[in-house]
Amino acid sequence: MDDKSANRRELLDRLKLDRSQPEPEGQGGAVLGGAIGLVLGAALAGSAAFFLWPETTAAPAATAAATQSGGSAAPAPTPAAAPPESGGTVLSASGYVTARRVATVSAEIVGKMQDILVEEGSVVEAGQVLAHLDSTLAALDRDVAASDRDAALAEKQNADSALKRLLGVTRGSVVSEADLTSARAAAASADARLEAAASRLARAEALLEKYEIKAPFAGVVTSKDAQPGEIVSPSAAGGGSTRTGICTIVDMTSLEIEVEVSESFISRVTPGQKVTATLDAYPDLEIPAHVAAIIPTANRDKATVKVRIAIEALDAKILPEMAAKVSFKDKT
């Protein structure tokens, strides 16, 4: 029972007449009139209190309803559907800038890092040397292979001269068939040894080139992962202290935006559809784009479909992994 009801009850109790006491003669009408006046006054006071009392019980309900419908406690869906309008936005979604061509450059062989020629932010061309491994032993192997090739070449030249001399003797001279056969066999053997030596030299030179790490394509270095003196390897088999990557290169001409669209709205998206994108970092920069592809699979856990957005006008402000928002335009 609240304070207002308690006050009313107390007023009514005071107005009750005690019938056990005899009424003074001549005062019955006055007492009755006074009681009626007090009852009417209490009724008017209660009505005024009822109308003037602040409405405190409806406010929490309205606040709770507002919190449930539009407050931060209710999670919003990833894509926000907009009503279809001619030439307007039919769907909005958020995602990130990604690169189609990105590579972590590593060595093909195990070796000790000698020097690194790039830093974060360096612009490199395809085939540019990024780093050197210590190639002392590989260079010695190449020199040995080159010496073997030279020796085999000299042996072949001698064998060819001996065979030519036997074949060019004057008529009437006696040349045994055995000598001619032996000379031909020596020339063929020298030729085979020369080919083998040349192959070993080519292999040594190819191996020596692997001590130079080159850029697979043109791009920008986004991370430098190794330092001179570290051991690098194409895999982690060398142990925890072995580096598997030297640097990461991103092809900035291959940037695009990846967004996830709810299955409920994917019917509003078609390949080639015009899109306007904005970056969270630069909300005033409108990026013209279009739908490059709809990945033909859905995410079962999130009930979304991935959509690739091709950027039509690249800008230096657009960087990989930036957050972006896209607006799909009306297909009509």
Residues 71, 171 share a domain: no
Residues 218, 122 share a domain: yes
- From CA 142, how far away is CA 150, in angstroms rounded? 12
Which contacts (CB < 8 Å, 24+ apart) does range 80-86 have? 81/264, 81/265, 81/268, 82/327, 84/268, 84/330, 85/330, 86/330, 86/332
Residues 198, 147 share a domain: yes
Task: Give the dihedral sign, CA 220/222/228/234.
Answer: negative
Residues in contact with 100: Cβ distance below 8 Å, sequence separation at least 6, in sequence order: 251, 254, 255, 256
Residues 277, 242 share a domain: no
Write down the pLDDT at residue 311: 96
Write down the pLDDT at residue 164: 86
The reported pTM is 0.61
Left (φ > 0), alpha (ψ -120 to 50) or beta: where does 138 sit? alpha
Residues in contact with 313: Cβ distance below 8 Å, sequence separation at least 6, in sequence order: 287, 288
62: domain range?
Answer: 1-18+25-75
Is residue 166 very low, low, confident or very high in pLDDT (cuts 50, 70, 90)?
Answer: confident
Count the domains in the chain. Answer: 4
pLDDT, mean of residues 74-82: 45
Residues 309, 270 share a domain: yes
Judge whether residue 305 has pLDDT over 90: yes
Residues 51, 67 share a domain: yes
Write down the pLDDT at residue 4: 58
Of residues 148 and 163, the one with the higher pLDDT is 148
Residues 256, 193 share a domain: no
For the chain, counts of helices (H) and of strands (E):
5, 15
CATH number, domain at 113?
2.40.50.100
Of residues 77 and 258, the one with the higher pLDDT is 258
Local structure of 229: helix, strand or coil: coil
CATH number, domain at 185?
1.10.287
Judge whether residue 67 has pLDDT over 50: no
Residues 171, 129 share a domain: no
Q: Among 205, 204, 241, 208, which residue's Cα sits nearest to residue 226?
A: 241
Judge whether residue 255 has pLDDT over 70: yes
Q: Which amino acid, residue 244?
A: T
Judge whether residue 77 has pLDDT over 60: no
Rg (CA), the chain: 47
Residues 113, 233 share a domain: yes
pLDDT, mean of residues 241-253: 88
Give me 9's structure tokens.
């009850």
Residues 198, 152 share a domain: yes
Residues 122, 237 share a domain: yes
Is residue 121 very low, low, confident or very high in pLDDT (cuts 50, 70, 90)?
Answer: very high
pLDDT, mean of residues 175-187: 83
| Final residue belonging to a domain, choices 184, 210, 236 | 210
Is residue 57 very low, low, confident or very high in pLDDT (cuts 50, 70, 90)?
Answer: very low
pLDDT per residue as tens digits for the range 4-28: 566 666 666 665 555 555 554 444 4
pLDDT, mean of residues 49-72: 39
Write down the pLDDT at residue 35: 46
Residues 282, 320 share a domain: yes
Write down the pLDDT at residue 89: 83
Mean pLDDT, all residues of the chain: 80
CATH number, domain at 266?
2.40.30.170
Give me 13's structure tokens.
């109790």
Write down the pLDDT at residue 240: 55
Local structure of 114: helix, strand or coil: strand
Q: What one-character DSSP code corresponds to residue 283?
A: T
- From CA 124, how far away is CA 165, in angstroms rounded? 58
